[in-house]
Amino acid sequence: MILIIFDVDGTLTHSESRDSLCFANTYEKVFKRKFPTINWHKYPHVTDTVIFETVIQEHFKRKPGQEELEDFHNQYSQNLINNRKENPEHFMEVPGARELVEHINSLDGFQLAIATGGWKIPAEIKLEHIGISPSLMPISGADGQYNREDIVNEAIRLTGQKASDFRRMVYIGDATWDVRTTRNLNMNFIGIRMDNDHEVLQQAGASHVVSNYLDREHFINLVHEAVPPIMMDNY
């Protein structure tokens, strides 16, 4: 059995930073403070949990309470839904993503999973909008988790199997932090860059990068060829 784990934002879905701005705008509405930056590289870990806690610490010198976390989570999720109702064309699938997921799900010998730095419910909202049913695969998000390595490991556990049970595991992601995570885990990696700027991930150590999922046969071949990212200077 081969396990393929997908990220969500920029990997299966694409919003040109609108979802990131939604996170920031929701924060500003709820807490009446200016959100520092949506440049996620500025945060210790690129997960919703760490981003939220970091900004609360910066503004209020404390950790968030459970009630205000849940309130923010609910308002953010509702705003994601509202944005998609108002301007559905702004929230796209990476070309071929839905058909690829459905195709792989129909094949013998493959298991799919999601490991996202976002919280689970927002991830489900984003997937459903592009026609990917969250029920097709287990989803691991940042709910109660701080780093992406733990999120990926939880995705493996949610399959009901151990890592050693899989003949091969491959993670699909779009960002340099995905390269770093898979290198830390010594996990095979395929990068995805819709803008054809493959060098962003190649310079971080990725060996295989695609622009979309329209060529399903090519992608499946890459799943068999993918290797862990190599160590590069400054990464």
pLDDT at residue 231, as a whole number: 87
Encoded tokens for 195: 């803008």
pTM of the model as a whole? 0.96
Enumerate residues 6+ apart whose C-beta is below 8 A from 197: none
pLDDT at residue 95, as a whole number: 98
What are the extents of the domains in the chain?
2-14+92-225, 18-89
User: Percentage of the chain with pLDDT > 90?
Assistant: 97
pLDDT at residue 98, as a whole number: 97
How many residues does the structure list for the chain? Answer: 235
pLDDT at residue 235, as a whole number: 61
Q: What CATH fold (topology level) applies to the domain 2-14+92-225?
A: Rossmann fold (3.40.50)
Judged against a pLDDT cut of 90, whether residue 233 lies above it is answered with no
* Residues 173, 204 contacting (CB under 8 angstroms): no
Q: What is the pLDDT of residues 43-85, one digit of tens each?
A: 999 999 999 999 999 999 999 999 999 999 999 999 999 999 9
Confidence band for 232, pLDDT divided at 50, 70 and 90: confident
172 vs 100: CA distance, rounded Å? 13
Segment 202-221 mean pLDDT: 97
| Cα Rg of the chain, angstroms | 17
Q: What is the pLDDT of residues 93-144, one digit of tens each?
A: 999 999 999 999 999 999 999 999 999 999 999 999 999 999 999 999 999 9
Mean model confidence pLDDT for the chain: 96
- In eight-state DSSP terms, residue 186 is T
233 vs 187: CA distance, rounded Å? 19
For 34, counting Cβ atoms within 10 Å of its Cβ (0-12 exposed, 13-18 middle, 19+ buried), the class is exposed
